């Protein structure tokens, strides 16, 4: 009886051990085979260290493939206070010796002793060679717990070159201005990561399990900017702003055939590489964010509308009075005169406000307003840069007689500089207006290009109307025009000066003695290739658009024509009489 009981108990124990063995074996197979990655991740979770594999941010290139912005290897130093706490003063001393002013000794000691934390940033975005020296010094001193995390640092080899176009980043993955912001998603890429097991000393265990997620590099952005022309324009504009004492200046050059912006300058500007002069007024791109009254440049749009309606040609006769009184205001020209018999071409060449008002009386408020809308005013230009301001065009229903009059010569309407480039570009392009662009394509790590320029073209006036206005504009740079200093030897140049009173943004009233002066033009006038627009804001002198902005236009346009190999056409400009 006792023997039978012992045998039964033995059988039960044998079965139990057999079941346990099978379960253990199956579990081992599952861990080592079927779910090895999942269990490896769980196994290292408690003592794991995760290292980010940074995706290099894409470069920003000029139209010829030269880097205007690039990335270089950097390191952010992190620490595990559980490991660094006991030796915090020693570690902080070595780090401050190696990294200098990048970190503060006492702040670092506090970080390294941070309670209830296993991860802190000691310092970010250190050049890779500096971080390597610091980590090596800690290793030689047998002080564990500080780690290097690879990052990508932005470098701007041209310094302030095209800074307001290129923009700047905050950290390594966040563009906050310019193309860095506009194309941030394409430039950024996707970071990878590696997770691995560490020993109590903080060192990686070579034979331990690990997980790896590959990174995807950011794409390069190839722009329409010509680096050499941009550099020259930046320097020329900075010189005139400094010498004239103006508040700021802008210069934009567009290829009329493609609507590509080949140069966009601003002065003063900042240096994104050293972060010198980075402040709100220099960080913004004033060509898009600043609005102002364009002054006499707007006369081109007025004349283009009238020519499109069949109301006017370059030699149309206009009786110009000595002054016009409207809604209690007296309007005159910049020079005193009696009644004049002028041609439409003379009105543009000599920039007569009164002649423009008389001509514009042939349009109703609604028709005039519709042409302003066609030319893109009060709307975004569509250029691929952030922070554009629409400007302001008063609705036609709210126009008064004085609003109609002053709008015809560019007062009482606010615009940004790119809107003017786009509108006058339509005249240069035979009446067709297109969307300006600043980026050509995105290029991924495999060299695959994605076109970013989807410029759309819209006809705003007839080819004949554009041709008539071009004839008028050629008289501006003639010897008897208002901007003979903008003439380029050997080329036919169509242009227009602009001078407008500045508005006090606090009171909404004009400030007498403060002006925004400008010059816009294109060349060759009979076969247009480039358009350049120069704006000088609030020069202390009484200089006008022709005398101050005109010579800057001439120098930048001359450089563009030479740089792109545009020959003179050899034809002579048509003669436009000013008077009849």
For residue 4, give both structure tokens: 């039978």
| Cα-only R_g, the chain | 34
Q: Which residues contact 530 (CB under 8 A, 6 or more apart)?
A: 253, 254, 255, 256, 262, 522, 523, 557, 560, 561, 564, 566
- The answer to whether residues 419 and 393 touch, using CB atoms and an 8 Å cutoff, is no
What integer pLDDT is reported at residue 33 of this predicted model? 47
Give the Cα separation of 478 and 495 in Å (integer). Answer: 10
Counting Cα atoms < 13 Å in the Cβ hemisphere of 453 gives 18
**Mutual angle of helices 128-140 and 88-99, in 10-degree steps:** 140
Q: Write b or e for each residue in 305-314: b if 16 or more Cβ atoms lie within 10 A of its Cβ, otherwise e.
A: bbbbeebbbb
Ordered structural domains, the chain, with CATH: 49-58+72-154+177-220 (3.90.1310.10), 227-563 (3.40.710.10)
- The answer to whether residues 556 and 549 touch, using CB atoms and an 8 Å cutoff, is no
DSSP 485: G
Of 51, 60, 69, which is closest to residue 191 (Cα–Cα)? 51
Give the Cα separation of 7 and 567 in Å (integer). Answer: 111
Of 291, 183, 251, 257, which is closest to residue 436 (Cα–Cα)? 257
**How do the pLDDT tens digits run along the chain, 580 residues long?**
445 545 555 564 555 555 555 445 555 445 444 454 454 444 444 567 777 787 889 999 999 999 999 988 889 999 999 999 999 999 999 999 999 888 999 999 999 999 888 899 999 888 889 999 999 999 999 999 999 988 878 899 999 999 999 999 987 789 999 999 999 999 998 888 888 887 776 677 877 778 888 889 999 999 999 999 999 999 999 999 999 999 999 999 999 999 999 999 999 999 998 888 888 778 899 999 999 999 999 999 999 999 999 999 999 999 999 999 999 999 999 999 999 999 999 999 999 999 999 999 999 999 999 999 999 999 999 999 999 999 999 999 999 999 999 999 999 999 999 999 999 999 999 999 999 999 999 999 999 999 998 778 999 999 999 999 999 999 999 888 889 889 999 999 999 999 999 988 788 888 888 999 999 999 999 999 999 999 999 998 777 888 899 999 999 999 999 999 999 988 888 888 999 9
Residue 493 neighbours by CB distance under 10 Å: 23
Residue 162 neighbours by CB distance under 10 Å: 29
What integer pLDDT is reported at residue 5 of this predicted model? 47
- DSSP, collapsed to helix, strand or coil, labels residue 116 as coil
Q: Give this prediction's pTM.
A: 0.85
Of 567, 427, 407, 406, which is closest to residue 488 (Cα–Cα)? 567
- The answer to whether residues 518 and 535 touch, using CB atoms and an 8 Å cutoff, is yes
- H-run or E-run covering 132: helix 128-140
Give the Cα separation of 17 and 317 in Å (integer). Answer: 115
Q: Which residues contact 241 (CB under 8 A, 6 or more apart)?
A: 248, 249, 267, 268, 536
Q: Which residues contact 466 (CB under 8 A, 6 or more apart)?
A: 304, 307, 426, 427, 428, 429, 430, 431
Of 83, 153, 91, which is closest to residue 125 (Cα–Cα)? 153
Residue 235 neighbours by CB distance under 10 Å: 13
| Long-range residue pairs from 361-366, CB within 8 A, at least 24 positions apart, any chain | 361/404, 362/306, 362/309, 362/311, 362/312, 363/305, 363/306, 363/309, 363/311, 365/396, 365/399, 365/404, 366/396
For residue 284, give both structure tokens: 């913004």
Cα angle 409, 411, 412; round to 5: 130
For residue 168, give both structure tokens: 């700047």
Whether omega for the bond prior to residue 180 falls within 30 degrees of 0, making it cis, is: no
Helix then strand count (H, E) for the chain reads 20, 23
């Amino acid at each position: 009886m006792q023997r039978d009981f012992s045998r039964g108990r033995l059988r039960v124990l044998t079965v139990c051990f057999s079941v346990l063995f099978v379960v253990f074996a199956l579990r081992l197979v599952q861990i080592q085979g079927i779910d090895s990655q999942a269990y490896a991740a769980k196994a290292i979770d408690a003592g794991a260290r995760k290292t980010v594999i940074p995706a290099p941010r894409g470069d920003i290139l000029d139209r010829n493939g030269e880097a205007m912005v690039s990335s270089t290897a950097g390191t952010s130093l992190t620490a595990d206070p559980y490991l660094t706490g006991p030796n915090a003063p020693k570690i902080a001393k070595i780090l401050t010796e190696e990294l200098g002013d990048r970190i503060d000794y006492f702040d670092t000691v506090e970080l390294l002793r941070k309670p209830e934390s296993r991860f802190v940033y000691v310092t970010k975005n250190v050049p890779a060679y500096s971080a390597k020296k610091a980590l090596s010094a800690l290793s030689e001193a047998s002080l564990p717990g500080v780690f290097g995390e690879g990052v990508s640092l932005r470098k701007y080899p041209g310094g302030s070159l095209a800074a307001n176009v290129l923009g700047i980043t905050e950290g390594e993955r966040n563009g906050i201005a310019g193309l860095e912001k506009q194309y941030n998603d394409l430039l950024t890429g996707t970071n990878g990561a590696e997770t691995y097991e560490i020993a109590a000393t903080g060192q990686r265990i070579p034979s331990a399990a690990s997980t790896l997620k590959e990174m995807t590099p950011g794409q390069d952005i190839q722009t329409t900017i010509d680096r050499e022309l941009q550099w020259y324009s930046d320097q020329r504009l900075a010189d005139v702003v400094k010498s004239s004492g103006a508040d700021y200046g802008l210069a934009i050059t567009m290829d009329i055939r493609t609507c590509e912006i080949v140069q966009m300058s601003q002065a003063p500007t900042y240096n994104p590489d050293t972060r010198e002069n980075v402040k709100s007024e220099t960080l913004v791109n004033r060509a898009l964010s600043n609005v102002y009254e364009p002054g006499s440049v707007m006369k081109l749009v007025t004349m283009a509308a009238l020519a499109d309606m069949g109301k006017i040609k370059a030699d149309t006769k206009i009786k110009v009075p000595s002054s016009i009184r409207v809604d209690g205001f007296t309007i005159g020209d910049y020079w005193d005169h009696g009644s004049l018999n002028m041609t439409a071409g003379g009105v543009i060449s000599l920039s007569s406000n009164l002649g423009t008002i008389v001509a514009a009386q042939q349009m109703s408020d609604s028709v005039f307003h519709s042409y302003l809308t066609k030319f893109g005013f009060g709307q975004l230009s569509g250029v691929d840069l952030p922070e554009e301001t629409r400007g302001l065009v008063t609705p036609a229903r709210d126009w008064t007689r004085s609003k109609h009059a002053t709008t015809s010569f560019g007062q009482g309407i606010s615009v940004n500089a790119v809107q003017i480039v786009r509108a006058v570009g339509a005249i240069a392009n035979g009446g067709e207006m297109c969307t300006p662009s600043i980026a050509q394509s995105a290029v991924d790590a495999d060299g695959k290009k994605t076109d970013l320029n989807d410029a759309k073209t819209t006809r705003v006036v007839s080819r004949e109307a554009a041709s008539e206005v071009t004839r008028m504009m050629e008289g501006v740079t003639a010897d008897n025009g208002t901007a003979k200093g903008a003439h380029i030897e050997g080329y036919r140049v169509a242009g227009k000066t602009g001078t407008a009173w500045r508005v006090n943004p606090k009171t909404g009233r004009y400030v007498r003695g403060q002006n925004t002066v400008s010059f816009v033009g294109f060349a060759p006038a009979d076969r247009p290739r480039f358009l350049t627009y120069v704006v000088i804001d609030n020069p202390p002198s009484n200089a006008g658009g022709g005398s101050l902005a005109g010579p800057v236009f001439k120098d930048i346009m001359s450089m563009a024509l030479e740089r792109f190999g545009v020959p003179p056409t050899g034809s002579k400009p048509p003669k436009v009489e000013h008077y009849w």
